[in-house]
Amino acid sequence: MRVLVTGGQGCIGAWIVKQLLDQSIEVVTYDLNPDPNRLALVASRKEMSRIEFHIGSIEDTHHVKKLVRDRGNPHCASCWRVNSVLPGQSGKGSIG
């Protein structure tokens, strides 16, 4: 099985990636951040070598659809600004 984790280099995404790796599941990440520092805090170098990294914005729907089609099922997306969303509205951006 292969799983695409959007936001895979974020706080929650890194832990999801780690859990998937622990279960011997192939992981593909898609994130704006090209620096895997947060993942390196929870995964060993050997585990990190098993991850297929892709860099880009979740708002690039063409690229996201291509990754879903070609690389795996999406698992997590962190793209909502929780503290600025009013009832009945949605917000884009980072959580926080």
Q: Supply the pLDDT for residue 68.
A: 83
Domain ranges, ordered by start, for the chain: 2-84
Note the CATH number of domain 2-84.
3.40.50.720
Strand order in the sheet with 26-31: 51-55, 26-31, 2-6, 73-74
Per-residue pLDDT of the chain in tens (96 residues, 90 and over written 9): 888 888 889 888 899 999 999 999 899 999 998 898 999 999 999 999 999 999 999 889 899 888 888 876 655 554 444 444 445 555 444 433
Q: Supply the pLDDT for residue 39.
A: 93
Contact present, 27 and 50 (Cβ < 8 Å):
yes
Q: Supply the pLDDT for residue 1.
A: 82
